Chains A and B, each alone.
Chain A
Amino acid sequence: MAEKHACWKVFTKGLLRENPTLVGLLGMCPTLAVTSQAVNALGMGLATMFVLVGSNLVISALRKVIPAAVKLPCYIVIIAGFVTIIDFLLHGFLPELHESLGTFLSLITVNCIILGRAEMFASKNPVFPSILDGLGMGAGFTLSLLAIGSVREILGCGTWMAGTPFMVSYPHLQPLSIFTSTAGGFLTLGVLVAIAGILTRKPPVQEVGCEACPMAAACKGAENKEADA
């Protein structure tokens, strides 16, 4: 039972508590670039999720085989492989989506969320939790992108999910074109980050000393202070 609970936690931590976009602030480039329309945001999120689950699976399966010296090149090759596969598949089967994601699709390779999860989680954990981690983080990324994309598209274009059968339009809304530009992306992102911050708020740290600081080993601050005095 306890194990089941732990697995569930591995999955859900990506949704809000350690949400890669809104709490981790990782992968900002695709986040801002493709979210001017909800459907692109959803497509980007799902493509990233596919790559994340695939690369987590392979990397955690190979975690004992890959020597530390060539860890990063191996991860990048594996991730790039998955990205190229999804690129081919989208180009062949969903050419419209492929068109609108453009360069950002191939740039999933260097999305720091994927390399981050490979390094922080998949390289240290067994296959099953790594898949769950990939699913959770991917879902968190997708939901964040969809939220940003929905706000931007509704306020900026007066439609939602344009180009799909689920399209909703709001003809009484006067489109605010700032929301389709980068500045609107930042505004939306900032508000959502603040909301996520409120939802995940922890009691503030009372006092930070060198003892509790994770950077203490690499830091010369305390010595410098002594020298000044």
Chain B
Amino acid sequence: MKEKILPSLVLTIVCAVVCGLLAVVNSLTRDKIVQAESDKVQRSLVSVFGEGSYQPLDRRYDGVTQVFSGNGLTIYDITVDGYSKGGIRALVGIDESGTVSGVGIVSCGETAGVGTKITAPDYLAGFRGAADESGYPDMISGATFSSKGIRAAVTLAIECSKGGVQNG
């Protein structure tokens, strides 16, 4: 009887203790994690679109994480697939006339030295003033998937600003 009950009992106790520990660590770090996430977005917003306060808007589109407004711009926080799935998280600012005023990268999980070329400020500046695909900068050779990814993000933001995307 003992050898039937003991293993399950020990495993149950081990699981319970580990769960308890995780609950403690989670309660200690949860606020920090939420803070770190929103800090990261705010930092990117300020670095791309200049100082100012950016307020999240209560608008939802398919494929758009969050919409902010500030400095006369509407800014779309968009995660798209590059070479890796969900590898590019970009901020695309659209001004009142519907043209792109700036593109910034929040995080880029693309191959270092290859796909990360799309994060170069010079390259991203090429999107400024674009109202459709004809205004985009050229694809980067060797980084086709990452270039397509960032183009898709910009296109999605333009579509959203035109009201062409369903509210999700």
Report whether A92 and B113 are in contact in the complex, using a CB–CB cutoff of 8 Å: no
Partner of A177, one of B26, B32, B107, B113: B113
Does A181 reach chain B (CB closer than 8 Å)?
Answer: yes
The answer to whether B10 touches A89, judged by C-beta atoms less than 8 angstroms apart, is no
Verify B14–A95 contact, CB threshold 8 A: no
Partner of A175, one of B3, B15, B36, B113: B113
Binds A, one of B17-25, B53-61, B153-161: B17-25
| A196 CB–B CB distance under 8 Å | no
Report whether over half of chain A's contact residues are helix, strand or loop; otherwise say mixed.
helix
Q: Which residues of A contact B37 (CB under 8 A)?
A: 95
For window 1-15 of chain B, which residues contact chain A by CB distance below 8 Å?
A: 3, 6-8, 10-11, 14-15
Separation in Å of the B107 CB from the closest CB of chain A?
5
Q: Is the CB of A70 within 8 A of B25?
A: no
Is the CB–CB distance between B112 and A93 below 8 Å?
no
Contacts of A65 in B (CB 8 A): 10
A36 to B115, CA, bound (A): 13
A91 adjacent to B112 (CB under 8 Å): no
Q: Does B114 contact A (CB under 8 A)?
A: yes
Binary flags per residue of B95-118, CB closer than 8 Å to A gives 1, else 0: 000000000000101011110000
Question: Is A107 in contact with chain B by the CB < 8 A criterion?
Answer: no
B33 in contact (CB, < 8 A): yes
Bound together, the chains give a CA A213 to CA B113 distance in angstroms of: 48
In the complex, the answer to whether A95 meets B6 with C-beta atoms within 8 Å is no
Whether the Cβ atoms of B10 and A180 lie closer than 8 Å is no
Complex CA–CA separation, A66 to B22 (angstroms): 21
Decide if A95 touches B36 in the complex (CB within 8 Å): yes
Residue of B nearest to A179 (CB): B113
Which of A12-20, A77-85, A135-143 touches B?
A77-85
CA A81 to CA B21, docked complex, whole Å = 8
**Is the C-beta of B47 less than 8 angstroms from some C-beta in chain A?**
no
**Complex contact A88–B33 (CB within 8 A):** yes
Residue of A nearest to B114 (CB): A177
A176 CA to B127 CA, complexed, in Å = 28
- State whether A180 and B113 are in contact (beta carbons under 8 Å apart), knowing that A77-B18, A85-B21, A92-B36 are contacts in the complex: yes
Query: A121 to B139, alpha carbons, bound, how many Å?
Result: 53
Interface residues of A in 93-129 (CB under 8 A from B): 93, 95, 99-100, 102
Are A67 and B10 in contact (CB-based, < 8 A)?
Answer: yes
- Which residues of A (132-178) have their CB < 8 Å from a CB of B? 153, 156-157, 175, 177
Residues of chain A within 8 A of B40, CB atoms compared: 95
A193 is an interface residue with CB less than 8 A from chain B: no
CA gap between A156 and B113 in the complex, in Å: 7
Q: Does B29 have its Cβ within 8 Å of any Cβ on chain A? A: yes
Using Cβ atoms and an 8 Å threshold, which residues of chain A touch B111? 36, 180-181
Please, which residues of chain A bring their CB within 8 A of the CB of B21? 81, 85
- Docked pose: A201 CA to B3 CA in angstroms: 47
Q: B residues bordering A, Cβ < 8 Å?
A: 3, 6-8, 10-11, 14-15, 18, 21-22, 25-26, 28-29, 32-33, 36-37, 39-40, 107, 109, 111-114, 142
The 4 closest A-B pairs by CB, nearest first: A92-B32, A81-B18, A180-B113, A92-B29
